[in-house]
Copies of this chain bind each other. A is one copy, B any other.
Amino acid sequence: MKTLSERQQLILSFIEEFIEEHDYPPTVRDIQHGCGISSTSVVSYNLDRLKDSGALSRDSEVSRGLKLAGQKGGSSGPVSIDTVAVPLLGTIAAGSPFPMPENDTWSDLTGQELIDLPQAIIGTGDGLYALKVRGESMIDALICDGDLVIMEQTSTVRNGQMAAVRIKSDNSTTLKHYYAEGPRTRLEPANPLMEAMTFNSDDVEVLSRVVGVWRYLG
Contact = CB atoms under 8 A, between A and B. Distances in A.
A89 interface: no
Interface string A14-33: 10000010111101000001
A43 B162 CA distance: 23
B20 A63 contact: no
Given A211-B216, A217-B212, A158 B34 contact: yes
A197 interface: no
Q: Within the oligomer, what is the number of copies of this chain?
A: 2
Interface residues of A, number: 81
Contacts of A168: none
Nearest to A210: B217
Q: Closest 10 CB pairs between A and B?
A: A36-B180, A213-B215, A78-B82, A116-B118, A38-B182, A81-B83, A63-B63, A10-B156, A23-B67, A212-B216
